[in-house]
Structure 1
Amino acid sequence: MAATPTPLLLLALPFLFAALAAAQPRPFGGAPPGYARYVTDATATGVEEEYDYIVVGGGAAGCPLAATLAGPGGGRVLLLERGGAPAEFPALATAGGFVRTLALADPSPDSDAPAQAFSSEDGVPNVRARVLGGGTAINAGFYSRAHPGWFHGHGEDAEVPDWDMRLVNSSYEWVEQELTFQPEVHGWQAAVRAALLEANVTPWNGFTVEHVTGTKIGATTFDASGRRHSAADLLAFARPGRLHVAVRAAVTRVIINPIDPAARRGRSRPAVAAVGVVYQDRLLQQHHALLRPGGEVILSAGTLGSPQLLLLSGVGPASDLASLGIPVSVDSPDVGKHMFDNPRNGISIIPSVPIDHSLIQVVGIPSANGTASYLEAASYIVPVSPMLRPAGPFISPTSPLYVTMATIMEKVPGPLSEGSLWLSSPNPMETPSVRFDYFSRPEDLAQCVVGVRRVAQVLQSRTMDIFRSAAGTSSQGRRGRARRDFRIVGATLPLDWSTNNTAVADFCRRTVATLWHYHGGCVVGRVVDKDFRVMGTQSLRVVDGSTFSVTPGTNPQATVMMMGRYMGLKMIAERHSRRLVNTSSYSELQE
């Protein structure tokens, strides 16, 4: 299904490079980041080294996981990140660099850009992170915990981990103490807050990191000075000497070997185990990182990277692997299946009055049961596109180079439309193919219709009148008084949006975009068990959003970072339990 991208970023993409090239933010001074002492380029790592834990992917889950495993009670940890470090890209440090980073995303696997562009088979443009910190280093910075019901399952046949909620909450708090801040809400965000309440997205909840019904201000990962904090900052909590972080280290496969039947201690145990990984540096030199006895490989490479690496390593549908000439280690038909992306649709305007640049701070959650679409808003400074100039009197050939575009968007929270991921080739440097099949289920389309109508209601509120065009056509208001129209960018809703389901559904299909919250591919109960171990293997886990069947709340980054900390603590506890058992058994033998 080909889709027309939303205008917020994509309409102006061809013009962003030249217009923003001179808009580099000034780097922040001061000491180097806390993670710097652990980081080295992969070219400086050994050809073969041994570790207790090998974490693949230095993103939202991988950074807190590696820091925890290299902390008290942990072991020697290697964290492998295919991209560079955030400090190498000054634009990432500020909220103003958000648009620029996405606009300059490079699809090439050889690029140094911190964001990699790709398009799904649906025709929807997308971006995946390629930098230490992962999505937390390039996103809009919004932070909010998961919906409480998320921890208890998403349907009768869905399996979920046995979450220890005390440990969940303490893991959230550990992240929040370092990375989150209360934003100052004014200008556009304050207007959106008032408009949501006027549109009956109530109650007003003030500032909170909890997922609550109504309108709220969420936390941000940008501090009071405007500096971004990312998951990479959590690496500073590792113990010196235990953590090694290799950047520009592209993992090509997990080394999976058969287990000696005599050592399996029973027929029900897996027949294969992960013993290490192969990765290459930017000079194409191959490196082997191997596990010490009792060690583990943990994939935290994200929704695209983790299932891709399992497939490349011979864990996946046997027929698919055989067709690509990949030796089969485990026939696991659900690897790469059950992929989901939350459809995003919105309406963008060019306000008639100057407004501030703001990323997402205020959200509206209309329903307590988590089924209604979430609403949020942002405003961005973008260059004027020539294709906008003839569209009306607000933009003329004498317009300034830059214009502020504001948007209100809705996100379908738990889409039922299910896609899949597959390898187009056995080349590990290629982005895998993925199709999300947006709106293939009528329930998702119905949710979008309701959500888009809510966006329209917010724009129709009296609070938003100040942003209507000072010149142009007028329409009849609800009280019979003429009201100026908005200067809409891109697709517009039909005049009968409040009653015409078919027309609004067509709007949803034509303007569907991603909010970069895609998940699945290594879902719990199908590919990994409740402890995130890859079923059919030993010493191999997946700890990231690819294990989710439903995205956790308005934004997943809080929960993915919590998950990294949580699983690090759980794995350390498991390791100590095994040591106690082994010590006890040895003592009994000695007696």
Structure 2
Amino acid sequence: MAAISTRLYLLFGILLVPSLAAAQSRAFGGVPPAYARYLVDAAAMPAVELYDYIVVGGGTAGCPLAATLAGPGGGRVLLLERGGAPSEFPALATAGGFVRTLAMADPAPESDAPAQGFTSEDGVPNVRARVLGGGTAINAGFYSRAHPEWFRGRAEVQDGEVTNWDMRLVNASYEWVERQMTFQPTVRGFQAAMRAALLEANVTPWNGFTVDHVTGTKVGATTFDASGRRHSAADLLAFARPSRLRVAIRATVTRIITNPIDPSARHGRSPQPTIAAVGVVYQDRLLDQHQALLRPGGEVILSAGAMGSPQLLLLSGIGPASDLSYLGIPVSADIPDVGKHMFDNPRNGISIIPSVPVDHSLIQVVGIPSANGAASYLEAASYIVPLAPALRSSGPFIGSSSPLFVTVATIMEKVPGPLSEGSLWLSSSNPLESPPLRFNYLSRPEDLARCVLGVRRVAEVLEGRALDGFRSAVGSTNRRGAVRRDFRIVGAALPVDWRTNDRALADYCQQTVATLWHYHGGCVAGKVVDRDFRVIGARALRVVDASTFSETPGTNPQATVLMMGRYMGLKMIEERHSRRPVIPS
């Protein structure tokens, strides 16, 4: 997700969610969304049912994956989503609801809020999606493809040969997503000023509008259309064949059902699988249990995200044997790296209250200073929020007791490909609870050094003349006696000697670190899954989501996770029929 300071959300109020009927009326003009034809509340599902594919998690990867598997050449598919439908939450429908949605993030396991809050063991607030469409239903809508090196970095050696992603199919899968749910934004106001400020700070060249990852300053795509309505991964479900797809909402998977494989029957991959997935158990909102079982040749695919997928493997006895035994969970497969190698891109930024009214704008313009990976990515957003009580006690807001709203603009940097890593573990057998995890932000000196460079670049952007129109009327006098207008800063201010004092900037990085909601890992490829995203040591079980990434792709991962769902669906259909897929036009 694109970024606004998470800590600000804890100060901002929440809005109540109207009924489903009112939500549909507001978000879709009274017409139910196209995906509604597939929806079933889990409480109305049969106790036992058979499917060719069971996809766990109706999010960024799960929706395009399920839609593809239930399309031409596919089979009967069940998509299980623990949350409700986007149409139940009107705040999700427009960009203006982005802050409100995150403000009402509720950590309670029993809540039906579309965003579930959690705080890492580092003390950094975060959020995970709990709604059909996943992160695409609650994020800031910025869409940009992975950098080419990301795919080359995922080449693996198999039988002495290097195997890469099929880039023809990758590009076709990107294009399929983009035809359905991306748009070129109209850049104006603060975003236009940000574009000029990046170029003034020598984040060049100017690349115009492109979905490609390119060095310099560019405008990326958005998932909000010209009328301001959000398009999420849930919309992609409309491309499934209705007779083949069922989507159960408010369905929480509690474990994967596995059977041991007789050693005499093992064949194929190396290492030899020792267990086979045969289905899943899930519970509905009334806590009644259901089973979804596989037909012969079927598969269970986890697309529950970087927290949900490793958590479910652990709950199913797939993970480090010593940890599972300590928790009293029967061990099905000893895979030591489940839950390990968790990463989150640290974000630091500066928030200001502009001196003039600005439009509400989420991420549209980004700066990519270099192609060598040593520099941070830069982006900005402006948004309207209720004024925090702490700010009412200063300046023109003194004595105000009525609700006040203020526009805040944030310029931020993201450290790409952090080396600092953490882990996730179980503290409860309740699948509704978020498992504890620690990211160890900026614990590696390389990451801290990159943050220092990134924050310094943010400061340079703020120093440029392109943003002068947003400075306050109050200024400070320099040594020559000239008055330079200052920004009204929200939160921590930069050290005065930020140009030269690396230590002070490092302290600033550590004190103000926040998340960009791009956390990943826990089921990393090469350690938990193989090159085809099959769980190592298991048959009929895959993980297809960002938990398999050791590095987040590009400035924002949603484009690549969406592509991944479509890509793997086509590859699995190819395997099903043992022929190369016909790439859709």
Q: Which TM bucket (shorter chain)?
A: over 0.9
User: 1:455 corresponds to which residue?
Assistant: 458
Q: Give the aligned residue type for 2:412.
A: M
Are 1:492 and 2:493 counterparts? yes
State the superposition RMSD in angstroms: 2.3
- 1 CA distance for matches of 2:4 and 2:142? 21
- 1 CA distance for matches of 2:142 and 2:437? 26
- 2 CA distance for matches of 1:14 and 1:520? 30
Are 1:539 and 2:536 counterparts? no
The Cα shift of 1:554 comes to: 0.3
Are 1:11 and 2:8 counterparts? yes
The Cα shift of 1:389 comes to: 2.6
Change (3 A) 1:19 1:186: farther
**Matching residue within 195, 199, 217 for 1:197:** 199
Q: Give the aligned residue type for 1:356.
A: D
Q: Give the aligned residue type for 1:108.
A: A
- 2 CA distance for matches of 1:38 and 1:47? 18
The Cα shift of 1:464 comes to: 1.0
Q: Give the aligned residue type for 1:51.
A: Y
Residue correspondence of structure 1 range 231-246 to structure 2 within 5 A:
231-246=233-248
Do the aligned partners of 1:221 and 1:230 also contact (CA within 8 Å) in 2?
A: yes
**Matching residue within 416, 429, 446 for 1:413:** 416
User: 2:505 corresponds to which residue?
Assistant: 504
Change (3 A) 1:178 1:30: farther
User: 1:330 corresponds to which residue?
Assistant: 333
User: 1:47 corresponds to which residue?
Assistant: 47
- 1 CA distance for matches of 2:190 and 2:579? 55
3-state DSSP of counterpart to 2:117: strand
- 1 CA distance for matches of 2:291 and 2:317? 18
Q: Deviations over 1:117-161 (max 9, x none)?
A: 000000000000000000000000000000110001179999997
Are 1:279 and 2:279 counterparts? no
**What stretches of structure 2 of length at least 5 have no aligned partner?**
581-585
- 2 CA distance for matches of 1:157 and 1:457? 43
- Comparing 398-407 with 52-61, greater Cα deviation is found at 398-407
The Cα shift of 1:390 comes to: 3.2
Q: Give the aligned residue type for 2:223.
A: T
The Cα shift of 1:470 comes to: 1.2
Q: Give the aligned residue type for 2:552.
A: T
Change (3 A) 1:304 1:160: farther
Q: Deviations over 1:304-328 (max 9, x none)?
A: 0000001011110000000111111
3-state DSSP of counterpart to 1:344: strand
Residue correspondence of structure 1 range 125-524 to structure 2 within 5 A:
125-153=125-153, 162-265=164-267, 269-391=272-394, 393-398=395-400, 401-471=404-474, 473-476=475-478, 481-524=482-525
User: 1:59 corresponds to which residue?
Assistant: 59
3-state DSSP of counterpart to 2:14: helix
Q: Deviations over 1:37-74 (max 9, x none)?
A: 00110011110000000000000000000000000000
The Cα shift of 1:283 comes to: 0.3
The Cα shift of 1:338 comes to: 0.5
Do the aligned partners of 1:153 and 1:160 also contact (CA within 8 Å) in 2?
A: no
- 2 CA distance for matches of 1:526 and 1:161? 17
- 1 CA distance for matches of 2:396 and 2:552? 39
The Cα shift of 1:428 comes to: 2.0
Q: Give the aligned residue type for 1:251.
A: V
What TM-score do the two structures reach when normalised by structure 2?
0.94
User: 2:583 corresponds to which residue?
Assistant: none
Do the aligned partners of 1:377 and 1:407 also contact (CA within 8 Å) in 2?
A: yes
3-state DSSP of counterpart to 1:380: strand
Q: Deviations over 1:167-225 (max 9, x none)?
A: 00000000000000000000010000000000000000000000000000000000000
User: 2:80 corresponds to which residue?
Assistant: 80
User: 2:578 corresponds to which residue?
Assistant: 577
3-state DSSP of counterpart to 1:16: coil
Change (3 A) 1:404 1:272: same
Q: Give the aligned residue type for 2:422.
A: G
Do the aligned partners of 1:160 and 1:530 also contact (CA within 8 Å) in 2?
A: no
What TM-score do the two structures reach when normalised by structure 1?
0.93
**What stretches of structure 1 of length at least 5 have no aligned partner?**
1-5, 580-591
Change (3 A) 1:155 1:44: closer
- 1 CA distance for matches of 2:386 and 2:229? 23
- Comparing 424-433 with 261-270, greater Cα deviation is found at 261-270
Change (3 A) 1:480 1:451: farther
Do the aligned partners of 1:8 and 1:405 also contact (CA within 8 Å) in 2?
A: no
Change (3 A) 1:368 1:362: same
Change (3 A) 1:20 1:32: closer
Do the aligned partners of 1:213 and 1:368 also contact (CA within 8 Å) in 2?
A: yes
Change (3 A) 1:173 1:15: closer
User: 1:119 corresponds to which residue?
Assistant: 119
Q: Deviations over 1:323-360 (max 9, x none)?
A: 11111111100000010000000000001011011100
- 1 CA distance for matches of 2:156 and 2:422? 20
The Cα shift of 1:18 comes to: 6.6
- 2 CA distance for matches of 1:450 and 1:260? 56
- 1 CA distance for matches of 2:358 and 2:123? 32
- 2 CA distance for matches of 1:565 and 1:32? 24
Q: Deviations over 1:341-384 (max 9, x none)?
A: 00000000001011011100000000012331000000110111
- 2 CA distance for matches of 1:353 and 1:160? 56
Q: Deviations over 1:1-39 (max 9, x none)?
A: xxxxx9845335344127999xx9943305321111001
Number of residue equivalences:
570
Q: Give the aligned residue type for 2:326.
A: S
Q: Give the aligned residue type for 2:8.
A: L
Q: Give the aligned residue type for 1:125.
A: P
Do the aligned partners of 2:17 and 2:89 also contact (CA within 8 Å) in 1?
A: no
3-state DSSP of counterpart to 1:113: coil
- 2 CA distance for matches of 1:20 and 1:489? 29
Residue correspondence of structure 1 range 12-27 to structure 2 within 5 A:
13-17=10-14, 26-27=26-27
Q: Give the aligned residue type for 1:465.
A: D
